[in-house]
Amino acid sequence: MRNMEFKQQMHEYSQWRAKLVQSIEIYHQWRSRYGMKDTNSSNTILNILNGLQSDRITLAFVAEFSRGKTELINALFFAETGVRLLPSSPGRTTMSPTELFHDEKGGSYIRLLNIESRLEDISLAEFKKNPERWTQIDLQCESPTQMQEAFKELVSTKMVDRELADKLGLWNEREAAEQGIINPEKVEIPCWRHALISFPHPLLKEGLSILDTPGLNALGTEPELTLSMLPSAQAIIFVLAADTGVTKSDLEMWHNHVCHNRGGSKQGLAVVMNKIDAMWDDLADENGYENSIHSQIKLSAATLKVNEDVIFPVSAKQALLAKVKGDALLLEKSRLNVLENYLANDILKQRKSMLLATINRDMGFLVSESSNLINNSLANAVAQLEEFKKIDFQNRDMTGKLMAETRDRQTVYMANVENFQASRKVFALQAQALIDSLAKEKMDHIIKTTKHDMAKALTTYGMKQNMRKLFDDLRDLLQDSVDITNETRRLVKVIHKKFKDEHGFKEIEPQLFSIKQYQIELEQIFEEGEAFRSSAKTTMSEQSIVINKLYSTLIAKARNILRQAHADAITWSNSVLTPLMHQIKDHKKQIEGRLQMLRKINESKGTLIENIASLEAELEPLKLQRDELSAIIGDMQLEVGS
Ligand SMILES: Nc1nc2c(ncn2[C@@H]2O[C@H](COP(=O)(O)OP(=O)(O)O)[C@@H](O)[C@H]2O)c(=O)[nH]1
Ligand SMILES: [Mg+2]
């Protein structure tokens, strides 16, 4: 059976996501309908919904220049425009990384960031928040030729003094000499540093986003690409050219910019061996052609240390031609479909299961709690019904005695609830101490000191020492919170245990807050940064601007982790006692319900059958509530243990 095309799969994926959003919304309504809504869980749910609604699948195309990345993007996604939409060119001038996506609010545009902005100490992420810093060209998306014309601006270049080119990291004496350029006054450089393209293409509208990166040179000078943008892509497509094989710079790119940020895992990583058409007419028979493709794959797989089956031999150029002309035979021969199927099946499936895992983690706790609560109430109501069925309703003494017993239980219970309120205050104090230990001011102080020292450092070695110290200090800061965390966790457990022991509450394992994951992430950032730093030497003539950018990127990433830890600590302390509070409230309701029921029985003049029927009727709303929840859980495809 032929697999579905990428387009169809993407469409299905986005519909699946929309359905998931809908069922989470229904669950949210269910909670509020049955009085289970509270601010914290509402926030959690709204955050999840926001995340789902802005979810994008990013495919990043990475390779040395001229391997055919842009041509491949055209062939894979934009062939039906009938033109070569994005400019693909033989030179090495396509220097600016290009992101394609659909910006619902912004409309159709190209936004270009000027190359001189490299000299500013502002991250790309920050520039992106500032549209006025970009040069905007509007796109008329009903006209592919107008768009094609507008895209030509992406590759425009200009002549500048060599000194400036050098400062920008765009002057390489050795490479220029190889091209016979020696000691020039002016140098040709690209006009733009980064391009953002938005237009309402169906795939982009459904959440696809494409990152087209230029060659080694640009990646080596923009640490943010390697350290922030590539790691957040769902898939990296690394492109080789069949006619050049794996060159030294391909390999450098592979090691320094592709493998490293996948954390050693080859998941979501495909290698394309492009330009197989170069081998078409060189060889006489079909067999020889097959063999030579296969031996190329084998060789590349061995050099890159990947399985042969993640290497896709294609001809992007012929595929684009075939699609534009509607030539099925040529398309088959270009082998683009095999790659397309891989993207459609493996990559989209991976994304789906990742998304489900996140939803399971974030929603699972809430949904399990709802499910526990409702099952518990129902079980209690059933047990009570069974108990009442055995009562001699005419015996007023008996019902009176049961009522007195229940009232006593109520008194003891209310006393414990008061105790709980006191423990909650103690907890709140400790939680505040935890939150304060991760406060922004502490982190900012550490970072400010480092930046200050770094500015004074005279060598990159000195800067590295400062960086090391920064990470040590941040690690210590996290370590300080570990003790507070442990103390807080202990308190939470004690509070839960009391209600379990004295009132038979169902065991709730409180969510525990842990500092470990942040410590691990911090460590990783430092290591990635070091790897980048040691690789940067070979490609850079001007060090300090890149190293400065590298350290700014690292600091921004570290700052994000600590901010996350701080935010997570706040969320945790706000929500960890919520399930217990719900149980406490529910238990109180149960006791009151029991009293009311006994009173009714006591005063009842009806027959036994009537009494039982009215007790049974009380179960119905609970059953309805449970059934609604089960249906919602089924729709969400969550794995919920109860
Ligand atoms: N023969 C052949 N040439 C190709 C193929 N794909 C791209 N090219 C050519 O290779 C050059 C560079 O392509 P481009 O897409 O700009 O490469 P990029 O720098 O990796 O984005 C252009 O001249 C393309 O026409 C292919 O499949 N076969
Ligand atoms: Mg290109």
Contacts of 319 (CB under 8 A, 6+ apart): 75, 79, 330, 331, 334, 335, 336
State the average pLDDT over residues 19-46.
91
Cβ atoms of 451 and 467 within 8 Å: the answer is no
Cα–Cα distance measured from residue 76 to residue 203, given in angstroms and rounded to the nearest whole number: 11
pLDDT at 266 over 50: yes
pLDDT at 2 over 60: no
Task: State whether the beta carbon of 206 lies less than 6 angstroms from ligand 1.
Answer: no
CB-based contacts of 245-248 (< 8 A; 24+ apart in sequence): 245/296, 245/299, 245/300, 246/299, 246/300, 246/303, 246/304, 247/64
- Structural domains in the chain plus CATH codes: 1-55+351-384+607-642 (no CATH), 56-156+191-334 (3.40.50.300), 394-519+558-603 (no CATH)
Contacts of 307 (CB under 8 A, 6+ apart): 266, 301
Given the DSSP bridges, would you call strands 186-190 and 192-198 parallel, antiparallel or unpaired? unpaired
pLDDT of residue 50: 92
pLDDT at 246 over 90: yes
pLDDT of residue 530: 82
- Over residues 429-446, the pLDDT tens digits come to 988 988 998 888 988 999
pLDDT of residue 1: 31
Cα–Cα distance measured from residue 200 to residue 206, given in angstroms and rounded to the nearest whole number: 9
DSSP of 452-500, one letter per residue? HHHHH--SHHHHHHHHHHHHHHHHHHHHHHHHHHHHHHHHHHHHHHHHH
Cα–Cα distance measured from residue 53 to residue 385, given in angstroms and rounded to the nearest whole number: 45
Which of 446, 449, 457 is CA-nearest to residue 547?
Answer: 457
pLDDT at 539 over 50: no
Residue type, position 113, single letter: L
* Residue 302: Cβ-neighbour burial (10 angstroms; 0-12, 13-18, 19+): exposed
State the average pLDDT over residues 313-334.
95
The rounded Å distance from CA 65 to ligand 1 centre is: 9
pLDDT of residue 544: 67
- Over residues 446-464, the pLDDT tens digits come to 989 888 888 777 777 777 7
More confident residue, 23 or 166: 23
What integer best gives the mean pLDDT of the chain?
86
pTM of the model: 0.85
Task: Choose the residue to mutate in 66, 151, 155, 331 for probing ligand 1, maximizing ligand atoms within 8 Å of C-beta.
Answer: 66
Task: State whether the beta carbon of 335 lies less than 6 angstroms from ligand 1.
Answer: no
Cβ atoms of 313 and 293 within 8 Å: the answer is yes
- Over residues 66-120, the pLDDT tens digits come to 899 999 999 999 998 898 888 887 765 557 899 999 999 999 999 999 999 988 8
- Over residues 502-515, the pLDDT tens digits come to 877 877 777 778 88
Task: State whether the beta carbon of 63 lies less than 6 angstroms from ligand 1.
Answer: yes
The rounded Å distance from CA 63 to ligand 2 centre is: 9
- Over residues 114-156, the pLDDT tens digits come to 999 988 888 899 999 999 999 999 999 889 889 989 998 988 8
Task: State whether the beta carbon of 70 lies less than 6 angstroms from ligand 1.
Answer: yes
Identify the residue whose tokens are 């859980």.
633
Supply 216's token pair.
Answer: 């080694």
pLDDT of residue 639: 57
pLDDT of residue 640: 52
More confident residue, 194 or 547: 194
Task: State whether the beta carbon of 360 lies less than 6 angstroms from ligand 1.
Answer: no
